[in-house]
């Protein structure tokens, strides 16, 4: 129970401290309006090229929009501690590193889920997509799984920030790669095999697949395998993040480079 409290409360406090630069107007503009235009851009492009129907683009991109907040948020959870000079204090804590850093991901995943839900709702309204009411709980589950997996993916990238000076390059390139490799904008059948394989190891790929099945009215049973795969991918990144954080922490201590930017 104490660990859960640490994860929840610690995550929220860190979120408020590290995500302190935003205002409500800025939040809406950056995290809600921007992703909505991403959805519209690909939906109109898909319509014009007749690659796939509106459902493919609206549902897929709505799930993907969570990646912006989650990947950058997960990265910020580590990188900004270092930037603000508080990473050393966090690492001096006698509590479990795993619980501390996993807890950091939760608010960002919540952020991502909110973005995905708003983007899906507004995108569907603007472009006239009907989603069966019964599919909504399953869709929420798929978007939550995608957001969480993205958050842990971002945390893994943030861990790399302890080793590499400019982690934001990695984050920006990763977010761009998610557009291509997750099959959200180009159907997997049209991508080369190696891209599909790499996409299978990335967050969002399976969540988008599950969400599309649910929006098509296939039911939770049909979407369950993809949902399970997304959760597995997320769990994999959660473990990878903790292992990398441990390795780089030990190395940073040895080389006295923990706070060196």
Partner 1 sequence: MRTVRMLAIGTLMHVKQISRSPFELAIALVVPVVQATLAVYLFRSGGEEHRLLEAAVGAGVMGVWSSVLFGSGGAIQTQRWMGTLEMIMLAPRRPVLVILPITIATGLTGIYALLATLLWGRFLYGIKLDFAHPVAFVVAAVVCVVALGMFGLLLASTFVLMRNANALANTLEYPVWLVSGMLLPITVLPAWTSPIAAALPTTWGARALREATSGGPVWPSVGICLGVSLLCLVLGGLALTHVERRARAAATLALA
Pick 175 or 215: Cβ nearer partner 1 = 175
CA–CA gap between residue 259 and residue 257 (Å, rounded): 6
DSSP 261: -
Q: Minimum Å distance from CB 109 to partner 1?
A: 19
Query: Alpha carbon of 228 to those of 12, 102, 184, 210: distances in Å?
Result: 27, 20, 18, 9
Instruction: Provide the total of helices (H) and of strands (E) in the chain, helices listed first.
Output: 11, 0
Centre a 10 Å sphere on the Cβ of residue 43 and count the other Cβ atoms it contains: 24
In whole angstroms, how close is the CB of 112 to partner 1 at the nearest point? Answer: 15
Burial 161-189 (b: 16+ CB within 10 A, else e): bbeeeebeebbeebbeebbebbbbbbebe
Report the nearest approach of partner 1 to the CB of residue 196 (Å): 12
Instruction: State in angstroms the smallest separation of the CB of 227 from partner 1.
Output: 26
Q: Which is nearer to partner 1, 50 or 133 (CB)?
A: 50
**Residue-by-residue DSSP string for 142-154:** HHHHHHHHHHHHH
Reference 66, options 112, 29, 107; nearest CA is: 112
Select 56 or 102, whichever has its Cβ closest to partner 1: 56
Query: Which residues lie near partner 1 (CB under 8 A)?
Result: 21-22, 26, 29-30, 33-34, 37-38, 40-41, 44-51, 68, 166, 168-169, 172-173, 176-177, 179-180, 185-187, 190-191
Least Å distance, CB 209 to partner 1, is 17
């Amino acid at each position: 129970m104490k660990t859960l409290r640490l994860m929840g409360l610690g995550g929220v406090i860190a979120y408020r401290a590290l995500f302190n630069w935003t205002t409500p107007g800025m939040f809406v503009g950056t995290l809600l309006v921007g992703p909505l235009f991403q959805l519209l851009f690909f939906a109109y492009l898909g319509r014009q090229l007749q690659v796939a129907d509106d459902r493919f683009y609206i549902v897929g991109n709505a799930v993907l929009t969570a990646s912006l907040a989650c990947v950058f948020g997960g990265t910020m959870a580590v990188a900004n501690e270092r930037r603000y000079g508080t990473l050393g204090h966090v690492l001096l804590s006698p509590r479990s590193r795993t619980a501390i850093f996993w807890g950091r991901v939760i608010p960002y995943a919540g952020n991502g889920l909110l973005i995905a839900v708003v983007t899906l709702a507004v995108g569907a309204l603007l472009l006239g997509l009907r989603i069966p009411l019964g599919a909504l709980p399953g869709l929420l589950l798929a978007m939550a799984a995608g957001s969480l997996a993205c958050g842990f993916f971002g945390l893994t990238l943030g861990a790399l920030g302890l080793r590499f000076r400019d982690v934001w390059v990695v984050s920006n390139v990763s977010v761009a790669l998610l557009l291509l490799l997750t099959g959200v904008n180009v159907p997997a059948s049209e991508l080369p095999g190696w891209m599909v394989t790499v996409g299978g190891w990335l967050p969002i790929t399976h969540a988008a697949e599950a969400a599309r099945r649910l929006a098509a009215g296939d039911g939770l049973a049909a979407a369950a395998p993809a949902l399970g795969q997304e959760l597995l991918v997320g769990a994999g990144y959660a473990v990878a993040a903790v292992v990398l954080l441990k390795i780089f922490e030990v190395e940073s201590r040895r080389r006295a480079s923990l706070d060196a930017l």
